[in-house]
């Protein structure tokens, strides 16, 4: 299986689901070191699978479908667990707005798919995911080290900066999807089946 280059990007994509499950298990057993390590491993598989798929020209329909879901499993589980851990409320606001943006853009993509248009993630959306992963990495690190005064505050501050960048990119990329959507539908049709 590993000998076939075609499978490696899909294996990396699928591994993010496994890492997300491991994060949940280690979080609830209180082992924040492994939670942080698994998050980092999962986050690094995201750019790698795309790089290998493009470099080896083995982009697959399976990868196109499951890569965004694998990203969401890693980020959304992190949002929920970090909120549960009592992270600063501003990050809960970030998490809620990211979730809302995903719901709206996914609805637009679904409607566009009915017209035969498969909408891949745009460049801004890909950058948004990178900044979200960096933000979450800093937050997991802060949770792992606990209250170390100024060190923990620096980790939270770094997370906030990357969170702001992710927030801006999320809504700019959402705007780009909305412009494309508007070419084919009225916005009120988002609510229709």
Full-model pTM: 0.87
Query: What confidence score (pLDDT) does residue 1 get?
Result: 45
* Residue 138 C-alpha from the chain's centroid: 15
- CA 73 to CA 143: how far, in whole Å? 20
Q: Which residues of 96-120 are buried (b: 16+ CB within 10 A; e: fewer)?
A: eebeebbebbeebbebbeeeeeebe
The SS3 assignment for 13 reads helix
- State which residues of the chain have pLDDT below 50: 1
d(CA 80, CA 106): 20
Count CB atoms within 10 A of the CB of residue 122: 15
The answer to whether the CB of 169 falls within 8 A of the CB of 127 is yes
HSE-CB at 84 with a 13 A cutoff on CA atoms is 10
Separation between Cα atoms, residue 71 and residue 102, nearest integer Å: 12
Distance CA 136, CA 79 (A): 8
Res 187: pLDDT? 66
C-alpha dist (Å) from residue 163 to 73, 133, 134, 166: 18, 9, 8, 5
Where in the chain are the domains? 1-85, 88-193
């Amino acid at each position: 299986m590993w000998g076939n280059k075609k499978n490696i990007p899909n294996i990396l994509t699928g591994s993010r689901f496994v890492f997300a499950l491991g994060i949940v298990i280690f979080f609830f057993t209180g082992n924040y070191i492994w939670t942080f390590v698994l998050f980092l491993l999962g986050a690094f598989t995201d750019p790698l699978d795309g790089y290998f798929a493009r470099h080896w020209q083995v982009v697959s329909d399976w990868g196109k479908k499951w890569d965004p879901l694998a990203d969401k499993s890693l980020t959304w589980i992190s949002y929920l667990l970090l909120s549960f851990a009592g992270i600063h409320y501003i990050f809960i606001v970030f998490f809620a707005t990211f979730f809302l943006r995903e719901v709206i853009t996914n609805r637009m993509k679904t409607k566009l798919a009915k017209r035969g248009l498969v909408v891949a993630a745009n460049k801004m959306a890909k950058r948004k995911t990178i900044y979200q992963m960096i933000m979450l990495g800093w937050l997991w690190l802060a949770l792992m080290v606990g209250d170390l005064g100024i060190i923990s505050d620096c980790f939270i501050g770094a997370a906030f900066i990357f969170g702001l960048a992710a927030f801006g990119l999320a809504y700019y990329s959402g705007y780009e999807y909305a412009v494309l959507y508007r070419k084919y539908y009225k916005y009120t049709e988002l609510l229709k089946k």
